[in-house]
Structure 1
Amino acid sequence: MTDATAIIDRKPRRGRGLLKALGLLLLGALLLGAGFGAGFFYFANPLSPNKDVMRLIEHATPEAQEQQAEAPDENAPQKVPRPTPDQETFVTSYYEFKEPLTTNLRASRRFLQVGIGLSTQYDQKVMDNVARNEIALRSDVLAVVGSFSEEELQDKAGRDRLAIAVRDAVNARLVTLEGFGGIESVFFPSFILQ
C-alpha cells in the first residue's frame, strides 16, 4: 500500500510543475507582447515619410498656420526684408608670388624676407600678365623693398607705405610691358625682419 500512495503523490507534482512552466511561459509571452506593443505605440510614426518631411519643413500643422496668420504675436520679432543693392559687385582675384623675396634693408645689416600677394577686380588677363612677367616684377619689388629702412617698417603705417610703393612699381612695370597695370592692392602673407 505504501508503494501505491507514493506513485499517486508523484503524478500530481509532475502536472503542477508542467502547469507552472506553461503558466510562466505564457506570462513571459504576454509581457513580451506588451513590451513590443508599447514600443510600437511610442515609437511608431503614423505619417508617411513624405508627410513627415513636409511637416518638418512647414514647422506647423495647417490649423496652426491659420491661427498664426489670423493673430500674429506682436511681441515676437518680425522679419524685415533687406533691400538688394542694384550696383554690380566684382570678384577679387589674388596672385601670390611662388617664393618669398629676401633683401637687405637700406642702411641696415638686417634683411627682410617677405611674401607678396597681389589682388585685382579686373578680369583674369591682369593675373595672366603678372604670372607671365613675374621675374621682372620680382626684380622691381626687390628694388622697392630694399629702398626702405628698418625703422620705416617697424609699424603698420610703414608697411602700408611699402604696400603702396610695391603696388605702384608693379603697375608701372605692367604698363610698360603689357599696356595696362590693374593691380589694386598688395598684401604681405609673410613678413620676417631679421
Structure 2
Amino acid sequence: MTDASASLDTKPRRGRGLLRALVFLLLGAFLLAAGFGAGYFYFANPLSPAKDVLRLIERTPEADEPAADPDAPQKVPRPTPERESFVTSYYQFKEPLTTNLRASRRLLQAGIGLSTQYDQKVMDNVARNEVALRSDMLAIVGTFSEEELQDKAGRDRLAELRGAVNARLQQLEGFGGIEAVFFPSFILQ
C-alpha cells in the first residue's frame, strides 16, 4: 500500500493551483474596484465645500419674489450713496535726493515720491519741471540738521516739501496739485 499511496502523492493536483490563481485574480479585481471607488468618492465628492459655497452664493428665484403673505416683512434694499471715487496717482523721482546736512559731515539720501488725486496733467507737469523741483527740495533738505531727522517729528517736517513743490509748480504751470510727499527710501549716512 505504501507504493500506491506514494504514487497518488506524486501526481500534481491541478485543481488546487487553478483555485489559488482564481482567488488571487478575484482578490486583485476587488482591490482594484475598491481603489477606483475610493478615488471617485474622494475626488467627486458631491458634498465638497467648493460646491456648497457655490450653491450658497447662487440666488434662488424664490428669494427674488415677494413673499406670499402680505403681512410678512418685506425685504427692502438699502440704497448705497453714489460718490465719485478719486484715483490717486503717484510719481517717483528716478534718482534719490542726496545732500549734506546742516552742520554735519553726514549725508541724507532719500527717494522722493509725490501723489495727487488730480488728473495726469499734474504728474506731467512734475516730470517736465523735475530739475527745478529737485533744486528746490535740495535747498530745503539742506537746512535740516542730523538731530532733526533722527526722530519722526523731523521726518514729518521734511514731508512739508509739498509746499515748496506746489509753489514751484504754481509759479511755472499755474497750478500745484501735489497732495503728499513720500520717502520710499531714507538713508542717513
Ranges in structure 1 where 5+ consecutive residues have no aligned partner: 60-80
Structure 1 partner of 2:91? 95
Structure 1 residue 130: Cα displacement:
0.8
Q: What number of residue pairs does the alignment pair up?
A: 166
Determine if the alignment matches structure 1 residue 58 to structure 2 residue 55.
yes
Structure 2 partner of 1:62? none
What whole-Å deviation, never above 9, does each CA across 1:28-50 have from its counterpart, x for those lacking one? 011112222333443335xx899
Of 156, 168, 175, the match for 1:173:
168
Write the distance in 2 (CA, Å) between the matches of 1:111 and 1:41: 72
Structure 1 residue 83: Cα displacement:
7.8
Of 103, 106, 116, the match for 1:110:
106
- TM-score relative to the length of structure 1: 0.71
Write the distance in 2 (CA, Å) between the matches of 1:116 and 1:44: 58
Structure 2 partner of 1:20? 16
Which residue identity is paired with 1:44? Y
Structure 1 partner of 2:157? 161
Determine if the alignment matches structure 1 residue 42 to structure 2 residue 68.
no
Structure 1 partner of 2:147? 151
Which residue identity is paired with 1:110? R
Write the distance in 2 (CA, Å) between the matches of 1:183 and 1:98: 18
- TM-score relative to the length of structure 2: 0.73
Write the distance in 1 (CA, Å) between the matches of 2:107 and 2:79: 51
Ranges in structure 2 where 5+ consecutive residues have no aligned partner: 57-76
Change (3 A) 1:154 1:85: farther
Structure 2 partner of 1:75? none
RMSD value, Cα = 3.2
Secondary structure of the structure 2 residue equivalent to 1:170:
helix
